[in-house]
Structure 1
Amino acid sequence: MKKIMIIALSGLFLFPSCVGKKKYKELQSQYTKTQDLLNTATIKLNSCEERRKSLEDRLGDMKQTNQDLIQSSKDLTMLTSKGASNLEKSLESLQEKDLKISRLQDALTKKDSVTLALVTSLKKEIGLDDEDIEINVEKSVVFISLSDKVLFKSGSYTITTRAREILGKVATVINGKPDFEAMVEGHTDNVPFNGGGVLIDNWDLSVKRSTAIVRALQELGVKPNQLIAAGRSEYIPLVPNTTPENRSKNRRTKILILPKIDQFYEMIEEEMKTLSEE
């Protein structure tokens, strides 16, 4: 259109003689208005083009944002599902742990009950009120501690008549509990042994006294596979070996009554300790 107008106006200029002066001015004014309109339209068109481009850019950004939101929603759903699953597993784990602790506590309670019953049984069976005989619990183990003067003559490992009387009652208790073992520990003071013969030192003396007690219990009907002989020599004193009275206390024989399931109880205690540290 612009070209047609230019050609027409050029014709007017080429042939001025064919157009009147008044008409020429009208055409020239119309051309100017048309040119202004064209310029305005061009400006608006450019503005629209820029706006269109801006909108297209915004649309692209919005599409990308929408995609990101969709992906985020999927990720969140996945994380939420995973979190719920982990929470459920954690709850199940806590429930299992609580159940295990409850069972272990029941087992330990049972162990304490067995220990108490054993102490009561021993005290009832032996029935002695003697300062040289002690029935007690040490580190969850029931033991009978017999003074040296009750069992043996000085420097000897020959059992006295009084000892056989006491051991007969101990044997009755052990025989009534086939799932238990009896470990006999011999202890001496720190005075070096010089009795000669087959014994060399306090190690020999403590072990020999222990085996003498074991043989006596076996003769009294205790099964040999329930008996353990051990000698501790002078190295686990009750009191310092500084006086004759203290040395007399340290010369003793301990009979430890051990359930054969003690290893199981030790395992339980260790697991309880592990659980408490978690």
Structure 2
Amino acid sequence: MIKRLLILTLVIFTSTSCVSSKLYKELEGKYSNLKNDYDTLNADSESVLSDKNALQNQFDQLQSEYDATVLERNQLQQDVTALQKKYDALNDSYTALEQNSSKAIADNVQKNRELLAQLDAKETALAAENNRLLKLEADMQERSQRIAELEALIASKDQAMRDLKDAISNALTAFEGKGLTVEQRDGKVYVSMENKLLFKSGSWAIGSDGRTAIEQLGTVLADNPDIAVLIEGHTDNDPFSSGGQIANNWDLSTKRATAIVQILNENEAINPESLTAAGRGEFAPIATNETNEGKARNRRIEVVLTPKLDEISKLLNND
């Protein structure tokens, strides 16, 4: 546009050569001013164009960054949406779990209370059992002591009976092989004397050898006052038929046992309270009654010597 003004001014100048110098100078001054303005505007235009290009580059860069940011924003939005869905699902699961947990906790609390009640009951029962066990242990210790005392007493009685058997065997040695035996069994001493040593058939009168044997037995018994003496009369199974004072074998066996007691009672050192007579008749045989030898063995007097168990009875009664 400035160029056009200059050209127009030049044309006017050439066409009006007759213009005054004053006007020419004015026009020349205006031209100079216009040219300066043109140069200034041209420089400004180039600067503006440079700024515009720089701004365009910045704009393009910002546009690229914007587009990238939009893409990143969209991706983040998708991620946020996906995470929100996961969060909602987890929140729903947590809510359900919390509800279930509350019920489970309540159930567990109730179960714990029941278990604690059972535990208290068990502890109470255990304490009672411990007390009972302590009492039982004390009772067992006491009973163990009594058992030891009983065993000592029994051992002492057994030894006394062995000594008694030996003493009787020694006292009656002269009658061995004559129908007299001495043995110990079941804590007792048994002195067995066949009738051939003591009585004639059908009689309860004791012969001289028999009396001697009974008196020697009495001497040993007198030295052992703590012995209970049971005299049993026995017969074979032949019916008693002599009549008179004897009714039957039972009667005969009783009279023979009583005759032995009478001789023992003559020894003042023997306490009569320790003597007992009994008749067993033919009802306690030790051999067959089918032979003469068996019948001879069944016709006998048995003296059963038993230790008195007063001390043992006292220990037992203390229980």
Counterpart position of 1:217: 264
Counterpart position of 1:178: 225
Which structure has more relative contact order (CA 8 Å, sep 6+)? It is 1
Counterpart position of 2:304: 256
Counterpart position of 1:20: none
- The alignment partner of 2:277 has SS state of strand
Identity %: 28
TM-score, normalized by length of structure 2? 0.60
Matched, 1:143 2:186: no
Corresponding letter in the other structure for 2:251: D
Corresponding letter in the other structure for 2:207: T
Corresponding letter in the other structure for 2:210: A
Choose from 99, 107, 110 the match for 2:156. Answer: 110
User: What residue ranges of structure 1 are gaps of 5+ in the alignment?
Assistant: 1-40, 272-278
Counterpart position of 1:244: 292
Looking at structure 2, the residues matched to 263 and 253 of structure 1 have their Cα atoms a distance apart, in angstroms, of: 30
Alignment of 1:15-94 (within 5 A): 51-52=94-95, 54-69=97-112, 71-73=114-116, 75-76=118-119, 78-79=121-122, 82-83=125-126, 86=129, 89-90=132-133, 93=136
- The alignment partner of 1:128 has SS state of helix
Corresponding letter in the other structure for 1:68: K
Corresponding letter in the other structure for 2:237: N
Corresponding letter in the other structure for 2:158: D
Q: CA, structure 1 residues 259+101, in 2 after alignment: closer, same or farther (shift >3 Å)? A: closer
Matched, 1:227 2:227: no
Range that drifts further, 228-237 or 255-264:
255-264
- The alignment partner of 2:158 has SS state of helix
Q: Is the 2:161–2:307 contact (alpha carbons within 8 Å) kept by the matching residues of 1?
A: no
Counterpart position of 2:67: none
Alignment of 1:264-275 (within 5 A): 264=312
CA RMSD of aligned residues (A): 3.7
Q: Is the 1:182–1:255 contact (alpha carbons within 8 Å) kept by the matching residues of 2?
A: yes
- The alignment partner of 2:174 has SS state of coil
Aligned residues: 230
Q: CA, structure 1 residues 96+108, in 2 after alignment: closer, same or farther (shift >3 Å)? A: farther
**Stretches of 4+ aligned residues off by more than 6 angstroms:** 44-47
Q: Is the 1:148–1:251 contact (alpha carbons within 8 Å) kept by the matching residues of 2?
A: yes
Q: CA, structure 1 residues 144+53, in 2 after alignment: closer, same or farther (shift >3 Å)? A: same
Counterpart position of 1:28: none
Q: Is the 2:214–2:264 contact (alpha carbons within 8 Å) kept by the matching residues of 1?
A: yes
Choose from 214, 220, 224 the match for 1:167. Answer: 214
Cα-to-partner distance string for 1:4-30 (whole Å, 9 max, x where unaligned): xxxxxxxxxxxxxxxxxxxxxxxxxxx
Q: Is the 1:174–1:181 contact (alpha carbons within 8 Å) kept by the matching residues of 2?
A: no
Structure of greater Rg: 2
